[in-house]
Amino acid sequence: MNRHHAHISLTLACLTLACAALGVAGLLGGMTASAAALPQDQRAIVQIGAGGPEVLQLQTIPVPHPGPGQILIRVHAAAINPADYTQLGRVPSDADRRVPGMDVAGVVVADGDGVTDRPPGMGVFGIVDSTGLNGAYAHYAVANVSSTAPKPRSLTFTQAAGLGVVGVTAVRVIDEAQVHAGKRVLILGIAGGVGSSLAQIAIARGATVLGTASPRHARYLRSIGVSRVINYASGNIAAEAGHVDIVIDTVGGNEALQSLEALGPAGRYVGIAHAHVTPEQCAARQIQCLGSPGPAARAPAAAMLQVAQLARDGNLRVHVDRTYPLTRAAEAVLYNHQGHTEGKVILLVTPAANDH
């Protein structure tokens, strides 16, 4: 992110009385007004080494600058993903410190060169390619335009923060598994962020959706249209599910292997959990085993725009399990890591008026 490549635009914040009161308006001409309005430094959660949540500290770091094709976002909310915990166990690679967090929602405050469709002041959500001192657990973060979309008006920033990674993952998996009307789809781990997104998109396509979850999630899952909730502790999942056309697995392990019994020879399995079923195990049962779509941060721009459209149409909602202030990010990461999240866990960074 090169400061000289950044075409820093006037922020909407600068159009406010508050900005005028700061004397920023008087700096117009010659010097970019918002560059002066934007702080040089910010408070952010920084990973200072390898370990557990204790390696997360609140520190002062520079505000990043958007390069070509990038935007600088003032972060209102960020979401937790299971990978955030996994990353804590690794020494930051490209720097001795890193800011975690991929999922973000906020307002554009500056555009890099070549950006025309995310003007300053626009509400956006998306994925930050969290490397070095640029991540979502911060007040300001840079994202590639292709990894963002305009925030649907119907969603709060708190909800929109939880859309990116799980939404993009879900649309790609649903496409790959060829889910459409008339199919019976079994989703393992249906109450989590990815599982609940998969369920909503599959239901919007006309599929009949059932899934495994603990019973405490049944009320939420029925509210989004899930036909049957199978308690994963109850024994034989395949017998409970009956015949299904497609299994989508966010859990792995024995449960995933058991679920294959519910598929006929023309069945399809897609696994995105760490310990998913192997191609050899699928081949032994003459089942088509499809691979994970790869990192959400590398998804094509069309996937993020599809997620935004689904949300605008009311076909993809984010259920907020818990919120934490940014300063308690370590607790939020630990809570999600315990593995029982219903929907998403969200960090509140700089709350917006009415959260819209």
Site residues (vs ligand NAP, CB under 6 A): 81-83, 165-166, 169, 188-189, 191-195, 212-214, 217, 232, 250-251, 255, 272-274, 292-293, 295-296, 336, 339-342
**Tokens, residue 150:** 């305009």
CA distances from 89 to 51, 56, 251 (A): 5, 11, 21
> What are 126's two structure tokens?
């998306």
Q: Which is nearer to ligand NAP, 33 or 88 (CB)?
A: 88
Q: In the bound complex, what is the minimum distance in angstroms from residue 245's beta carbon to ligand NAP?
A: 20
Q: Which residues contact 232 (CB under 8 A, 6 or more apart)?
A: 188, 212, 213, 214, 251, 255
Nearer to ligand NAP, 80 or 143 (CB): 80
What's the closest the beta carbon of residue 264 comes to ligand NAP, in angstroms? 22
Q: Which residue is nearest to ligand NAP (CB)?
A: 192
HSE value, Cβ hemisphere, 13 Å, CA-based, for 81 = 30
What's the min distance (Å) between Cβ of 268 and ligand NAP?
16
Least separation, in Å, of the C-beta of 321 and ligand NAP? Answer: 8
> Among residues 140 and 269, whose Cβ is nearest to ligand NAP?
269
Nearer to ligand NAP (CB atom), residue 37 or residue 166:
166
235 and 247 in contact (C-beta within 8 Å)? no
Q: Which is nearer to ligand NAP, 111 or 255 (CB)?
A: 255
Helix (H, G, I), strand (E, B) or coil at 316: coil
* Least distance (Å) between residue 25 CB and ligand NAP: 44
- What is the spatial distance between Cα 72 and Cα 28, in angstroms, rounded to a whole number? 20
Give whichever of 194 and 277 is closer to ligand NAP, judged by the CB atom: 194
What is residue 254's DSSP assignment? H
Closest distance to ligand NAP from the beta carbon of 131 (Å): 17
User: How far is 68 from 101, CA to CA, in rounded Å?
Assistant: 22
